[in-house]
Structure 1
Amino acid sequence: MRLISKRRIRFLVFVLFGVLTVFIVSRCVVHFQYNEEIKYYKKYFQQKKDGLHIYNPLEIKQIPVGTIDELYAARLDGELKSNRVIEWSKFAYVNYVTDADYLCNTLIIFNDLKQEFGTKAKLVLLISQDLVESSTSSKIDDVNLLLRKIQAIDENQVIIKYIDNIVKPKDTTPWNESLTKLLVFNQTEFDRIIYFDNDANLRSDLDELFFLPDHIKFAAPLTYWSLSNDDLKKSYHETQHREKQPINLESYTKVLTKRIRKGQMIYNHLPSLPHSLYLNSNNIAQDIMSSTSSLSPLFNFQSSKKVGKLKFASNLMVISPSKEVFDKIMKVTLPKVLNKKEKYDMDLINEEMYNLKRIIYEQFIFFRKVKNLFKPEVLVLPFARYGLLTGSLKNPQHYPMIYNDILGYKTLDDDGNDILGSLNDTVAKSKYIHFSDYPLGKPWYYTSMDRFKCAAKEEKAEDAESKNEACNIWSSVYFSYKKSSEICSV
């Protein structure tokens, strides 16, 4: 019996060893194949992109401000020349409110969009049913007054929808209702929406974002504040090595402008997001293989939920709503995070929906199967115009990123000359500045702006004058809110 048992054990060990050997060899073969294909397509898209009509799946693209504006101008020009009228009813700005204190700023923003900036897109407010049913009587009166003012901006253009909050059970943090934001993906009566958190200063309309390329289903700025100067240096080095030409952004935007005016495809010519900022290495094949399940003989991708420090911000998003996507969110994605601690809207969007690393894998796998049918659906927006934080205005370490918001490329050399002049210019051109100055609260929680104290960082003792100027720029954003908030008075 012992002899038979030993034979069985040896047989099982032999079988397991054989399976492991086959697994390792197969994995090496797949890794080698991926490597060779990726090398080929990298070179292919680099050398032949001018005449291609297929899309590069190995990059996540960033779109410069000038290119966004050029696309919008081309669309408006096309409307004039061909009488192809833009159906503005198919576009909407969307905001949601679950806290009555935020409702005043929705009124400010919607009023500015209509009266000051003249947008023709719909203005959609998703408001918590609880705010008009279970608030204290004084709060209900305030909420109803503000709702009437919001609706009165334009009876046809403004749409108010009452919603049920998505609440995280047993979560007592201020963000326990933040998953309600996911309802913006369900506004399927519109072809494209611009969602924005309303704890911000909106300084102009964002109409140009409605006219990003049609194949783009999601676009947002990145969390630039998580990057270091070393990250920036690595991104510049990578871009120079890959592109083998200067990293001056203007050389790219000139080409993009010419292609737009000729009606040519621009995606492959857009600046690429440096791999070093979101992949573990510059070896895409290695990253793909390291993310596959080690137990899966078919090497199906099962993404690690780990997200790099660079990810999409969720305070401003351009979305092409889809019933299919929303159903998946509610039935598959949401249940994964609903009961998890410290998992909120940005975590869900970046881990489950738009994981930068997983996007590359899925694009490449789809492209391998049907090259001519592949179209990228994700785009990175420039954060200086669409995602600037107020905290960055008084943080000199963020200035190089603010000036150069297409990561890996340079718009302005940080040579130390006229830094504040450049900051002033950047802020003047910024359209959406998010109130984010922890531990300071949102401006509506303070009865007087005198309560605000600017604590700009000084890198050197002689920087006191620069600090004062930075604080003036910072303060102007908050005083802008205070002045605008008069519209909310009775």
Structure 2
Amino acid sequence: MLYATTELTMCNALIMARNIRRLGTPPSIPIVILISAALETQQHAWTATVEATHTKMTFVEPWISQSMRGESSIWRESLTKLRIFEERGYDRVVYLDSDMWLHRNLDHLFALTSSDDSASVDETLHKAPYDDRLAQLRPLHVQGEGGRGASDSMLWAPRAYYISPQPFFASTLLVFTPSNARFRQLSQAVAASTRPDYYDMDVLNDVWHPVTFLPPHYVVLNADLLAPDSNLLGFANASDRIANTYAHHYSSLPNGKYGKPWEVERPPNNKWRTKRKSSPLMYELFDLYLDAKDRECPWLRRQDTAKSLPSTHGYLWQLIFGSNARR
């Protein structure tokens, strides 16, 4: 499942949908994009990609932060993401932020059970034959009127290894059982908060207990590619860490400053200015994104690419530039 609130984030969601299919997820597993109802009149622009990737569009009411009503802030609709937890007839959802580049298939996550811990996720499920993993997928069914209780809503998420103090999980990749009751808890927590910078990752960490942590290499910041030997996440070397990473989350520009790939132009002669210790993958990820944006989103207006994605990035701004840059 993905979500989009602007033309730019819709473009990113379509790029992610294409990569999900490229990595082997079959059409029998639906890709659902929750889309702000404000974009419904523009859906003709991306119909071809939606059909080609066997993607389902579901239009939802955008969730505008009360503290940002009337503002043009890029964060004002970021809480729309929390609608992924509403029950829509699925027993298990794998959610991805769309400002990432996916490297490996994630279908094994559908087969997680309450007995799986962070060690067994990689060592057992990923080694299972692909067809066996599909056979383990829980059947989809529509819940009755009452829906699931909050205690029935399990959640797995990667550890946000870049945040202190721990434990703290990232909301870039989430595996969960949807629950209207849990969604109401999230809604109530948002309504009760007086913080102006209360984003999806904040409320999820405040409300959702217990959580099973996925290994941190499921989602790694692309900033770590600037000094790949500095954060091995338990692997023997940087090459092993990179080879085992499922997704890189764009958090840094090629020059090392915080930023997103749609904020950069291709360099002259397509040659990036590289940093001495950086991995070549750091720059390849920008080429991959820019190529995909040109290919999948010819309808995207140039001025839209200057806007940032509403998601968990307030944390990354705070970590890299300090609290004043969070918004």
Using structure 1 for the length normalisation, give the TM-score: 0.47
**Are residues 1:388 and 2:285 paired?**
no
**2:208 matched to 1:353?**
yes
- 2:18 aligned partner, one-letter code: N
Q: Which residue of 1 aligns with 2:246?
A: 431
For the pair shown, the structure with the greater C-alpha radius of gyration is 1
Which residue of 1 is the match for residue 59 of structure 2? 162
Pairwise CA distance, 1:454: 6.0
- The offset of 1:101, in angstroms, is 1.0
Q: Match of 2:198, as an amino acid?
A: K
Equivalent position of 1:185 in the other structure: 85
Q: Please tell me whether the aligned partners of residues 104 and 246 of structure 2 are also in contact (alpha carbons under 8 angstroms).
A: yes
- Residues 190 and 198, structure 2, Cα contact 8 Å, conserved in 1: no
Deviation at 1:192, TM superposition (A): 0.6
- Report the equivalent of 1:482: 290
1:109 maps onto 2:16 in alignment:
yes
Shift of 1:441: 2.7
Correspondence for 2:51 among 129, 142, 152: 152
Residues 283-342 of structure 1, C-alpha deviations (whole Å, 9 max, x = no match): xxxxxxxxxxxxxxxxxxxxxxxxx35411011110111222123323x323123x5211
Offset from partner CA, 1:101-160 (integer Å, 9 cap, x none): 122222222123224424331100001111235xxxxxx4xx5312x0232125xx4211
For 2:171, what is the secondary structure of its paired residue? coil
Kept in 2: contact 1:225–1:398 (CA 8 A): no
Contact 2:169–2:205 under 8 Å retained in 1? yes
CA distance in 1, matches of 2:155, 2:219: 15
CA distance in 1, matches of 2:58, 2:94: 16
Name the one with the larger helix percent.
Answer: 1
Paired amino acid for 2:192: K
Mapped contact 2:156–2:213 kept (Cα < 8 A)? yes
Which residue identity is paired with 2:264? Y
Provide the rounded CA distance (Å) in 2 between the counterparts of 1:436 and 1:100.
20
In the other structure, the counterpart of 1:329 is 186
CA contact (8 A) 1:204 1:431 kept: yes
Instruction: Quickly say closer, same or farther: Cα 1:128–1:203, change in 2 above 3 A.
Output: same
Do structure 1's residue 99 and structure 2's residue 36 form an aligned pair? no
Compute the displacement of 1:435 (Å): 0.6
Deviation at 1:170, TM superposition (A): 3.7
Distance 2:199 2:106 in 1: 26
Which residue in the other structure is 2:34 paired with?
A: 126
TM-score by length of 2: 0.69
Correspondence for 1:416: none
Which deviations, in whole Å up to 9, do the C-alpha atoms of 1:203-238 show, x marking residues without a partner? Answer: 2221011111146710001111236xxxxxxxxxxx
Per-residue Cα deviation, 1:371-413 (whole angstroms, up to 9, x for no partner): xxxxxxx3110121x210101111357423x3x1xxxxxx53x
Q: 1:443 to 1:335 in 2, by over 3 A?
A: same
> Counterparts of 2:115 and 2:184 in 1: how far apart (Å)?
20
3-state SS, counterpart of residue 65 of structure 2: coil
Code of the aligned partner of 1:311:
F
Q: Which amino acid aligns with 2:224?
A: S
Q: Is the 8 A contact 1:188 1:323 kept in 2?
A: no
SS of alignment partner, residue 107 of structure 1: helix
Q: Distance in 1 between matches of 2:115 and 2:182?
A: 15
- 1:449–1:432: structure 2 CA closer, same or farther, 3 Å change rule? farther
Partner SS state of residue 280, structure 2: helix
Letter in 2 for 1:443: P
SS in 2 for 1:96: strand
- Unmatched 5+ residue regions in structure 1? 1-93, 134-139, 228-307, 360-377, 405-410, 413-421, 457-463
Residues paired across the two proteins, number: 253
Q: Alignment partner of 1:176: what SS?
A: coil
The percentage of aligned residue pairs carrying the same residue is: 25
- Secondary structure of the residue aligned to 1:224 is coil
The answer (yes or no) to whether the contact 2:156–2:176 under 8 Å persists in 1 is yes
Residue type of the alignment partner of 2:52: I
Distance in 1 (CA, whole Å) between partners of 2:287 and 2:105 is 20
Contact preservation (8 Å) 1:449, 1:479: no
> Is the contact made by 1:221 and 1:316 (CA closer than 8 Å) also made in structure 2?
yes
d(CA) in 2 for partners of 1:342, 1:455: 34
CA distance in 2, matches of 1:351, 1:182: 13
Would you say 1:175 and 2:82 are equivalent positions? no
Q: Sort the Cα spacing of 1:380 and 1:454 in 2 relative to 1 into closer, same or farther, 3 A.
A: farther
* 1:379–1:387 CA distance, 2 compared to 1 (3 A): same
SS of residue matched to 1:226 = coil
1:201 to 101, 112, 115: 101
User: Aligned to 1:201, what secondary structure does the other structure show?
Assistant: strand
- Residues of 2 paired with 1:125 and 1:196: CA distance? 10
Write out per-residue CA displacement over residues 52-104 of structure 1, whole angstroms, 9 at most, x where no aligned residue.
xxxxxxxxxxxxxxxxxxxxxxxxxxxxxxxxxxxxxxxxxx00101211222
Aligned residue in 2 for 1:80: none
Go from structure 1 to structure 2 and tell me whether the alpha carbon gap of 1:452 and 1:169 turns closer, same or farther (over 3 Å shift): farther
State how far apart, in whole Å, the 2-side matches of 1:440 and 1:166 are: 26
Evaluate the alpha carbon distance shift between residue 347 and residue 488 of structure 1 in structure 2; reply closer, same or farther with a 3 A threshold: same
Does structure 2 retain, via aligned residues, the 8 Å contact 1:388–1:434?
yes
Which secondary structure state, in structure 1, belongs to the residue aligned with residue 62 of structure 2?
A: coil
Quick one: distance in 2 between partners of 1:396 and 1:431?
A: 16
Tell me the C-alpha RMSD between the 2 structures. Answer: 2.6
Q: In 2, distance between residues paired with 1:442 and 1:132? A: 25
Which residue, 197, 203, 206 being the options, matches 1:342? 197
Task: Please list the CA deviations of residues 172-204 of structure 1 after superposition, one character each: whole Å capped at 9, or x if unmatched.
Answer: 442222111110101341111011110010122
1:363-378 → structure 2 map (5 Å cutoff): 378=211
Map of 1:318 onto structure 2: 175
Matches within 5 A, 1:400-411: 400=232, 402=233, 404=234, 411=235
Structure 1 Cα separation of the partners of residues 22 and 224 of structure 2: 29
